[in-house]
Structure 1
Amino acid sequence: MPPVCRKCRAKVQFPLIIIMQNLMQIMLSIMQAACTVLEILQSSQNQFFLLDQLHDSLSVIPFLATAAWRAGSPAPRSCWTYPGRSDWFHNVVLKLWDERLWLENFRMSRQTLFEIADELRPYLLRQDTVMRSAIPVEERIAIGVYYLSHKSCYRKLADIFSKGISSIASVVIEFCLAMEHKLLHKEVKLTDYHKVIAGFQRLGFPNCIGAIDCTHIPIICPKVQQAQYFNHKSFHSVVLQAACDADGVFFSILAGHPGVAHDAQVFRSSLLCKQMEAGTFVPGNPLMHYGGVSIPPVLIADGAYPLCRWLMKPYPNPITERERNFNKVFNRCRNVVERAFRRLKSRFRRLSDRMAVHVQNINSVIAAAVILHNICERKNHILPEGEGDSTSNEDFENDVPVVEDAGRVEGEGESVRNALADYIYNHNNV
């Protein structure tokens, strides 16, 4: 028969339910009477014939009753929620956990997570439907943060949070996209450049605006361009370039280049490179004058990066005491970005394990982790003891080819480096 509007059918079927219930009561009475007849027939000469006839008649009654009840009842609702254990997040985490457990499992305090929830509420709030209740925003944040903080797969998270696997996957990606869209430019930016320069000055390096480096984020082998994502360390990855201040807070990131890309190639394609070249990244581009050389705000990097007037790297083969002294101070300052990467990957372990995420979403996942890292660093959420110094698939060794730019750019960079070496040597900043 043709489809019938559910609402209309419900109005018609409501009295049918009462009728069918009464019909079932009548059928039950008939069955009770039939049982009495059976007892009488047990002594009858024609009991076998009559028993067969009665059995055939009675056998139809349960099927008629079932069909009648189904015809008068609305269709059963589909179950859209995961039939798992009790609600762990609301009944255990929110009610029983102290700050230590929050920091161990979510890498942040309860207050910080709820502050993030308030920021992202307009982007993550969902309405309840007739099929299921929407996942609260706070729990959505918790699912996303827990995913980044651990190496658990979607299936494991589905069991922990009593949700379906597909729901968990959607919540994680929606959370990361919202973090990137709403908080990236708020949390990952150069704030007070005077404080940044002062921070590196305390470490012995003058007029330094940040330390920059690249790290590899492992991924599952993609379906396309597999060779492009296979890096020199023999695993598939995307490259994360990041620059940080002396406290290890990132102010510039670029993620998504395939693992085969060289650090210098990634850097040249970045907005940071273009802004530093134009002298617009640091407001006013304040110059430091020493030994007749004008020194702009500089970034410090390892030997994989090119040398120019605003990008410093160590002397490749230091000979004099002045050059060795420069390299010592230089490496002490550059190590802040290596330690920042270690804390990032230790705090959010998902970045140290192969991510089963579509390539088009990996950048957002990485960005979300960096944003959360900055929030935790600024709020002084300390990592559990022993977690901030080691991580798997570490790639901070200087085993990539050294790049030396020729011509005017290298000449200008050499002049600035020599002036900085003189300043550091004369001021005994070792």
Structure 2
Amino acid sequence: MAPLRNRRCCLKSLIRKHSLLASVFENVNIILNCISLLKPQREVGDAVGDSSDLLHSTNMLVQTVFWAVAEWRLTSPRQKLCWCYPRRSRWFHDTVFQFWDNGQWIENFRMTRQTLFEIANVLRPYLMWRDTVMRSAVPVEELVAIGVYFLVSRSCYCTIAHVFQKGTSTIASVVVEVCLAIEHTLLKKEVRVMDFSKMLSSMRKHGFPHCLGAVDGSHVLITPPKKEVQAYFNRKSFHSILLQAACNGDGIFFSMLAGHSGVNHDAHVFRSSLLYRKMEEGSLIPGNPVFQYGGVSIPPLILGDGAYPLCKWLMKPYAVPKNDRERHYNKIFNRSRNIVERAFGRLKARFRRLSVRMEAHIQNVNSIIASAVILHNICEKKKHFIPDDDTELHITPPTDEINPPDIEHTRGGSDRKEAEAIRSAIADYLFNHVK
């Protein structure tokens, strides 16, 4: 009986010590039933019977424990362990937010703290993140700062993640969310026709009469979709999306279109724009007022280079000026149209992301471009300067650049004659009144 009693004690101590078995055998009746299986069924003197009964009882105990553990694992809830990478610091809140002056804000974000916080308040309904069991949500102001810093810098996601002490995937998702929110919320408010009289006066100071502004296109480098590589390969021998925009005399954009592949001609993209349709209908400016000179009615005008068609409302230079009058017209025209090239130069100097290759989905690239134009307008209106080391305005194209063909004779018939008459009247006005 002594060996049997020892085995019973060992089983009891094993059950007590093993936490898993202890949790399984919470019911005392189960433990007692398991131990009772070890009791001998024959007389004590029958050694053979005692041995066989003990072996049989031990096997039954093992099976009972096995199935009990299996059932416990299947039915009992298991506590999951949550782990997240700890944030190392609150750099934006503790340093930037607290101690940077306006000069440092403009140098790093191209806008003052007040301007960025005003934008954050507008975007707040679209960028409110929720707290989780692992950590608190990133403040909206910091989300906007991440998006703006991405546009300002040429750095990759990993570098920006290191600056803001966030994960790389978090930075990538924040950039897309912020740019989409800016486009959705502020595009129609910031990129639109403002006061008609102010637009005319802003162009008049450059010398051109009854003019709203100038239009031009700029290529933004991209990584093309694998199935459409050739569709985005432009005449300058790289892959791009074409940004076409029109600005007033102060360099503020009032119309923009992004998304057409770089292989498209400027005139083709322009014809597909809302600006073109409204100018054709005469509905861009209420009442479409005209300017009379030399018996010719001149509608509100827009200036474009040789890539654009000559229309009654779209002026372009003389391809081959024949006299002093036409040369003088070209001189004033180029001086006035250069405002859009300078505007593109400031746009790319302010938001340098537009001057490097975009590693993003095409639709996201369009939103990134649109958000840069929107923020550029806000900064221009608030007179935020661009740091001197970033004001590299690429206004004059390289001598080996392949210019688009002049399409002087795109439009014909009465439209062609009316457009020529308007350009001739403007040439007379400039030759007689503007030096």
TM-score of the aligned structures, taking structure 2 as reference length: 0.79
**1:178 CA drift (Å):** 0.4
Structure 1 residues 127 and 299 mapped into 2: Cα distance closer, same or farther (>3 Å)? Answer: same
**Structure 1 counterpart SS, 2:309:** coil
More displaced, 200-209 or 241-250?
Answer: 200-209
Is this contact kept in 2: 1:339–1:389, CA < 8 A? no
Q: Deviations over 1:342-398 (max 9, x none)?
A: 000000000000011101211111010000000000000010114223359978978
| Counterpart amino acid of residue 220 in structure 1 | T
Partner Cα distance (2:129, 2:87) in 1: 22
Matched with 2:107 is: 104
Secondary structure, aligned partner of 1:224: helix
Q: In terms of mean alpha carbon deviation, does 390-399 or 413-422 score higher? A: 390-399
Aligned to 1:424: 430
Whichever residue aligns with residue 407 of structure 2, its letter is V
* Structure 1: segments with no counterpart, 5+ residues: 1-15, 21-70
Q: Is residue 170 from structure 1 mapped to residue 176 from structure 2 by the alignment?
A: no
The answer as to 2:412 corresponding to 1:401 is no
Is 1:370 matched up with 2:376? Answer: no
Q: AA paired with 2:381?
A: R
Q: Which amino acid aligns with 2:97?
A: L
Deviation string 1:263-288 (CA, Å, 9 cap, x unpaired) is 00000000110000000011110001
State the match for 2:83 in structure 1. Answer: 78
The answer for the alignment partner of 1:187 in structure 2 is 190
8 Å Cα contact 2:311/2:411 also seen in 1: no
Matched, 1:352 2:355: yes
- 1:20-419 aligned at under 5 Å gives the runs 74-79=79-84, 81=85, 83=86, 85-390=88-393, 399-404=403-408, 405-408=410-413, 409-419=415-425
**Contact 2:266 2:307 (C-alpha < 8 Å) held by counterparts:** yes
| Distance in 1 separating the partners of 2:310 and 2:157 | 44
CA distance in 1, matches of 2:411, 2:280: 17
Secondary structure in structure 1 of the residue aligned to 2:174 = helix
Gapped regions of structure 2 (runs ≥ 5): 1-18, 24-75
Q: Which has the higher Rg, Structure 1 or Structure 2?
A: 2
**Secondary structure, in 3 states, of the residue corresponding to 1:195?**
helix
Q: Residue by residue, what CA displacement relative to the aligned partner does 1:75-104 show, whole Å, maximum 9, x if unpaired?
A: 43121x4x4642221122112211111111
How far the C-alpha of 1:131 sits from its partner, in A, is 2.6
CA–CA distance in structure 2, aligned partners of residues 395 and 339 of structure 1: 16
The 3-state SS of whatever aligns with 1:251 is strand
- How many angstroms apart in 1 are the aligned matches of 2:295 and 2:312? 14
**Contact 1:302 1:398 survives alignment (8 Å):** no
Note the alpha carbon deviations across 1:87-146, whole angstroms, 9 max, x for none.
221122112211111111000000000000011001101111113221110000000000
* Structure 1 residue 205, shift from structure 2 partner: 0.6
Partners of 1:285 and 1:398 lie apart in 2 by 37
Q: Please say if residues 85 and 162 of structure 1, whose CA atoms lie closer than 8 Å, have aligned partners that are also in contact.
A: yes
SS of alignment partner, residue 126 of structure 1: coil
Question: Contact 1:213–1:338 at 8 Å: present in 2 too?
Answer: yes
Give me the identity figure in percent.
57
Give the 3-state SS of the residue equivalent to 1:402 in structure 2: coil
Does the C-alpha gap of structure 1 residues 252 and 390 become closer, same or farther in structure 2, counting only changes over 3 Å? same
Checking the alignment, whether the CA contact within 8 Å between 1:346 and 1:391 is kept in structure 2 is no
Number of aligned residues: 361
Q: What is the CA distance between 1:158 and its match in structure 2?
A: 1.0
| Contact in 1 for aligned 2:341/2:395 (Cα 8 Å) | no
